[in-house]
Amino acid sequence: MSGLNLDDFATLIERPDPGIRRDAEERRERVGPRPGALGRLDELGEWLAAAQGGVPVKPVERVTALLFAGDHGVAQLGVSAGPAGGAAELVRAALAGESPAAVLARRFGARLRVVDMSVDCDPAELPEDVTRHRVRRGSGRIDVEDALTAEEAETAFRAGMAIADEEADSGTDLVVLGDLSVGGTTAAGTLVGALCGTDASVVTGRGGAGIDDLAWMRKCAAIRDALRRARPVLGDQLQLLAASGGADLTAATGFLLQSAVRRTPVILDGAVSAACALVAQRVAFRAPDWWLAGQASGDPAQAKALDRIALNPLLDHGVTVGEGTGALLALPLVQAAAALAAELPERS
State residue 1's pLDDT score.
Answer: 40
pLDDT grade, residue 318 (50/70/90)?
confident
Q: Is the pLDDT of residue 2 over 60?
A: no
As a whole number, mean pLDDT of residues 141-168 equals 98
Q: What is the three-class DSSP state of 60?
A: coil
State residue 146's pLDDT score.
Answer: 98
Q: Catalytic residue positions?
A: 323
Query: What amino acid is encoded at 304 in this protein?
Result: K
**For 337, which DSSP code?**
H
Q: What is the three-class DSSP state of 117?
A: strand
What percent of the chain is predicted at pLDDT more than 90? 89
pLDDT tens sequence across 81-99: 888 999 999 999 999 999 9
Ordered DSSP codes for 223-289? HHHHHHHHGGGTT-HHHHHHHHT-HHHHHHHHHHHHHHHTT--EEE-SHHHHHHHHHHHHH-TTGGG
pLDDT grade, residue 266 (50/70/90)?
very high
Residues 265 and 330: beta-carbon distance below 8 Å:
no
Cα 164 from Cα 129, distance rounded (Å):
16
Q: Is the pLDDT of residue 74 over 50?
A: yes
Beta-carbon count within 10 A of 85 CB:
19
Q: Is the pLDDT of residue 36 over 90?
A: no
Average pLDDT, the chain: 95
CA–CA distances in Å: residue 162 to residues 134, 183, 277: 13, 25, 17
pTM of the entire structure? 0.96
* List of residues 6+ apart from 136 with CB closer than 8 A: 118, 148, 152, 247
Q: How many alpha carbons lie under 13 Å from residue 196 in its C-beta half-sphere?
A: 25
